[in-house]
Structure 1
């Protein structure tokens, strides 16, 4: 039963954490140059201990849709359970976002979640001028900048983090299901991290987590993002009550800039 809880919870959490560097949108400026292009695809695997529990894909698609006359990118994040985990608790989730090609702010977001017997769909429209969101459960107002599950990740990759200092803490505002939520994230520093694609110089972040049925009292969740022009998450890791859960980049195609691992 504990493994099922971990599988259900962490699949969504780790996919979301891949988007969480958007916390810096409130404090730092976005660079002018686009750092990704249509056709980019990132594939991840999630492991519980030594076992692959789930797989996720995040990609950028060309779009002919326009909002307020402005061209958009179609962003898609998909995830599913894998191996024996798929037999006990099947997950098939798909999240989509249409964002302005220039500002990367979201216009429309939709999600379709199938987790065991649980089903959830939502369609969310962002009114960037009047600062409000219209979703299946109503209309919600917000201040500042806010994102959906997917757009936060892509906006974050365009943030200038050159002035970050170790220990800096920020709050991310995002809309999910029934309203706006926030998550506190700490910048830890830089670190060399190895994944299946090689070793990379990375920026290291620690999103806040709440101890309970899954996390230990002193558990820390860490996320490593390449410290280059691509700025893609290559690894995430957290200890749980029994064992640990990790997420790792397994393939990256269609990147605007070369992905250059450290040469030994």
Structure 2
């Protein structure tokens, strides 16, 4: 059962961060075990590194896709069972240098039932340039079962540099601390900012959006395919949606088992309504349950 819960928690983080690399979670026993779990769960093979140049689309940006105070709530289901929940939040603020930024935050929690077996309390933060939308800092704080780890990344786009710090804890004491620097493309996206980057794009069926992603020591190219339009109904309401799928560039593409498919509202908001994935343990669905802090009318909402 613990393996099942671990896979649920991996998917939960994976789905919300739009992560497409083998290192999309640090959870479980150690980094190597996490990578193995992700590979097995999503049927991912080797990944081709990103090009040295920035890998971004020339699609039209939608600056009003999200706003200060937006809170999106989700349930994560395995079949008919609610395995956990998550929230995605947007804050407009200033950093320590008084620069205007977006503070993007995702939190994930196992349900009370699942927490008896495997408790998940994870938090991810991204601090993004308000105007040009590239990250200054990324934070990932994982608390999963007995596993505790923090990942901090500071970006220096003018130097094409990322400074990374990874900390592993045992009983609230530091067991391991690694610091290193990574060369990254200018204005590369982290794994959370990339999700909101996609929301700012004008998506057209049959056309893809491209960007460079970074996490830890990996820089990789991400293609988001735009498949079709579809109307679906979830707890938060009935929505006209556009259906997208993230794909790694290179030979290590997602196989039929493990495809992550995402329904976004078919309007300027591009709110995530539903995410599904067929994994080795079955069918996982992430469903929007509540929208808060959105002042403008959501034109894709039918009821």
**Normalising by structure 1, what TM-score?**
0.84
Residue of structure 2 in register with 1:65 after alignment: 95
Q: 1:172 to 1:119 in 2, by over 3 A?
A: farther
1:18–1:233 CA contact under 8 A, matched in 2? no
The one of 220, 224, 227 aligned to 1:185: 224
| Residues 177-216 of structure 1: pairs in structure 2 closer than 5 A | 177-208=216-247
2:20–2:246 CA contact under 8 A, matched in 1? no
Please list the CA deviations of residues 150-172 of structure 1 after superposition, one character each: whole Å capped at 9, or x if unmatched.
211222221222xx342x45554
Task: Say which SS state the counterpart of residue 189 (structure 2) adopts.
Answer: coil
Residue of structure 2 in register with 1:13 after alignment: 14
Residue of structure 1 in register with 2:47 after alignment: none
1:108–1:124 CA contact under 8 A, matched in 2? yes
Structure 1: 5+ residue stretches without partners: 210-214
Residue of structure 2 in register with 1:160 after alignment: 202
How far apart are the structure 1 equivalents of 2:209 and 2:127? 25
Structure 2: 5+ residue stretches without partners: 22-54, 166-178, 249-253
Residue of structure 2 in register with 1:143 after alignment: 185
Residue of structure 2 in register with 1:243 after alignment: 282
Task: Say which SS state the counterpart of residue 195 (structure 2) adopts.
Answer: helix
Q: 1:18 to 1:262 in 2, by over 3 A?
A: farther
How far apart are the structure 2 equivalents of 1:4 and 1:186? 29
2:116 paired with 1:87: yes
Q: CA RMSD in A?
A: 2.6
How far apart are the structure 1 equivalents of 2:186 and 2:57? 10
Please list the CA deviations of residues 188-213 of structure 1 after superposition, one character each: whole Å capped at 9, or x if unmatched.
1211121112221111112348xxxx
2:302 paired with 1:262: yes
1:26–1:144 CA contact under 8 A, matched in 2? no
Task: Say which SS state the counterpart of residue 53 (structure 1) adopts.
Answer: strand
Residue of structure 1 in register with 2:125 after alignment: 96
Q: 1:31 to 1:184 in 2, by over 3 A?
A: closer
Task: Say which SS state the counterpart of residue 26 (structure 1) adopts.
Answer: coil
How many residues are paired up?
250
1:26–1:145 CA contact under 8 A, matched in 2? no
Please list the CA deviations of residues 129-184 of structure 1 after superposition, one character each: whole Å capped at 9, or x if unmatched.
122111113111122541112211222221222xx342x45554222233323444
2:70 paired with 1:44: no
The one of 124, 132, 145 aligned to 2:161: 132
How far apart are the structure 1 equivalents of 2:139 and 2:236? 31
Q: 1:256 to 1:177 in 2, by over 3 A?
A: farther
